[in-house]
Amino acid sequence: MEKSEVQKALERFRDHVVSISKRNLTNKQKNSSKKLYNSIQGKVKANPNSFELEFSMEDYGVYQDAGVSGTKKKYNTPYSYKSKMPPVKAFDKWLVRKGIAPRDKGKFTSRKSLAFLIARSVYRNGIKPSLFFTKPFEAAYKNLPQELIDKYGLDAIELFNEQIDEIIRKNG
């Protein structure tokens, strides 16, 4: 397989993963600010004896994809809340974007109070894994041309884990 064919195959792979990941975010209603959606991208660089394929997104996308276990509800994920709740102020903007105005007998109540209750619920119940990125990545990998897989000895799990590790390293 020539460099140009490798490049084309990897670009199709990248474009498919990015496109389906974005569609999954929208379909799973995890696209309220469009920040994560707009941040999903991939880069491909192919050389005669090697290639580079890199996906990137907002740091919190890893947690949306893999999920986070809460203190009461557990998921099959390496991430979990232990002693610290998610920041309450993160839910304040979310409430505004969703148009949620808390009311008590017709009167508006504190949005800060509602944001706290939501943060506490997320802390206890966690974030259910959406696999918005994992599923399209794994499905697209299965459709890579066999010659490309044979030539470069690709390992989807290793490649995926490297991408996740890089995002986590950037997040601190």
Enter the tokens of residue 76. Answer: 């099959």
With a cut of 50, list the residues of the chain below it in pLDDT: 1-3
Residues 5 and 46 in one domain: yes
Residues 143 and 87 in one domain: no
How many independent structural domains does the chain possess? 2
Mutual angle of helices 111-125 and 88-98, in 10-degree steps = 110
pLDDT for 56 equals 95
Enter the tokens of residue 151. Answer: 């030539």
Residues 99 and 27 in one domain: no
Residues 3 and 63 in one domain: yes
Residues 146 and 170 in one domain: yes
pLDDT for 153 equals 56
Residues 61 and 139 in one domain: yes
Strand-pair category, 103-104 with 51-56: unpaired
Residues 144 and 121 in one domain: no
pLDDT for 155 equals 53
pTM of the prediction? 0.76
The residue range of the domain holding 101 is 68-128
Residues 29 and 52 in one domain: yes
Enter the tokens of residue 166. Answer: 């890089």
Distance CA 41, CA 152 (A): 22
Enter the tokens of residue 94. Answer: 């979310």
Distance CA 75, CA 37 (A): 24
pLDDT for 1 equals 45
Residues 9 and 19 in one domain: yes
Residues 53 and 135 in one domain: yes
